[in-house]
Amino acid sequence: MNDEKNGPGPDEERYDIPSPEPEDGPAPEPGPTPPAEDGPRPAPPPPGQGPAFSGPRPPGPPRPPRGPGRTPPGRRPPPGKGSSPVVWILVILGLFVLAVSILFNVVLLGVIVAQGFPGTGAGNMIEKRVQGKASDKVLLINVSGVISSGQTVLFLPSGDLVQHVKQRLRVAERNKAIKAVILKVDSPGGTVTASDEIFKAVEAFREKTGKPVISLMDSVAASGGYYVSMACDRVVAHRATLTGSIGVIMQFLNYKGLFEEHGLKWITITPENADLKDIGAADQEFTEKDRQVMQSMVEDMYDLFLDRVKAGRPNLSESEILRLADGRPYTGQQALDNGLVDVLGDLDTALQEARKIKPFAEDATVVEYRTITPFSGLFGMTGPSPPGGREALGRLAEGLQERTVPRFYYLYQR
C-alpha cells in the first residue's frame, strides 16, 4: 500500500474529491462514474488532508449555455425579475394612498397657516402695493359683502369679515410705517352684532394709535355699511354711492296656515311662567303681545344705530338725524347735501382727507394685506363655484332656517 509521498502506482488513477456545496444552492450533480479498471483502488486520504496525486479529470455533466435571461444554477434571480404582478399592484396602491394622505395633510396645514390656528386670530398675509412708492404707508382694508361671522373651512374657523378687519387693524397698530387706514366699504350691511363689532374695533384703533381712519364708500355702503363708517374720522363717497338706510329690520317666516292645511302640528312645551319662550315660532300665530315684545327689541337696536350716527355726525342735530333715519337709502350726492358724508371723491380724495388729520408723504404707498394659502394658485381658488345638487338644497335649507329664526339686521334690502 502506497502512502502520499510515494504517489500513485503504475496501475492506479487519481479521482478528485468533490468540493462542498455552495451556500446559495446545490452543486450540479456529478456525471456517470467512469468504469473501474483492473487493479487495486487507491486508499482514501487521511482526515484533514486532500489528495496528493493528480490524473485526468473525469468528464462531468454538460453545462447549460449562458445567455440573456438565463440565471446560473444556484443563484437567485435579480430584483424586479420574476416578481408577481399582484405584488406590484399592492405596492402601487400603497404608494397612491400614501401620496393622497400626504397631500391632504399638507393642504390642511396650508389652511391652518393661512387662517391661523383656532383661537389665535393670526393669519399668514402678504402685502400688496396698490399705488405710491414712499416709505410712508396707508393701509387699505376692504369691507365687502354682507357683514357677518361664523363661517368654517375644512372644519376649522375661517376668516369672516369681522376677523378680516380686526386682523388688519392689528397689523396697522404694530407697523410704524403705516400712517393711516382707509376702510373701503362696499356692503349692504349685515347682522347687528357683527356691524357693532367692527365699529368698536375701528373706534378702539383710533383711540389707541391716533392714526386717522377714513371711510371710502364704494357702490353700496348702506345700513350696516354706513354704521361702520360712523366709526371713522371722515367719510368719502362717490356721487353714485348708495348709502343711508338707517334702521333695523327683522324678518321671519310663519307657516302656521300651511301646517293646518296639511294636518301638521308642531308640539312645543314651555314653563307656565315662560309663555314667550317660543315667541316668533314659525308654526304659531303671531299675537299682538308677540309683536309688542319684538317691536321693543327693534327699537332698542334702532336707538343704538342713532347713537352711532350722532357720534359720527356731530354736525347734525338729533332732530335732523331722526328726519334722515327713516330707513330710506340716499345717493352719494343726496348724502352730502344732508350732511351724512363729508365729501365726494375717490381714493386720492380719501388720502387727502387723512393728511389733513395727520400729515404724511404725498406719494405714500397704499398697501393691502391679503390672506393666502400655499395652494391658492395651484388649485385655482379664485372664488366659490355655483352651487349644484345637494349643495344648493343645503343652502336652501339654511336660508329657510334663518328665515324661521328671528334675527336683527342693519341690512339694506331691495
Catalytic residues: 223, 277
Closest CA to 247 of 406, 403, 409, 407: 409
Written as one letter, the residue type at 414 is R
Q: How many CB atoms lie within 10 A of CB 242?
A: 24
Helix (H, G, I), strand (E, B) or coil at 61: coil
Task: Report how far Cα 56 is from the mean position of its chain's Cα atoms.
Answer: 84
d(CA 400, CA 240): 34
Residue with cell 387723512: 354
Q: Contact, 114 vs 153, CB < 8 A?
A: no
Closest CA to 60 of 8, 92, 25, 19: 19
Rounded Cα distance, 240 and 140, in Å: 21
C-alpha cell of residue 270: 314651555
Mapping DSSP to helix (H, G, I), strand (E, B) and coil, where does residue 411 land? Answer: strand
Q: Any alpha helices (H) in 231-338, and if so which ranges? A: 256-261, 288-312, 318-324, 332-337
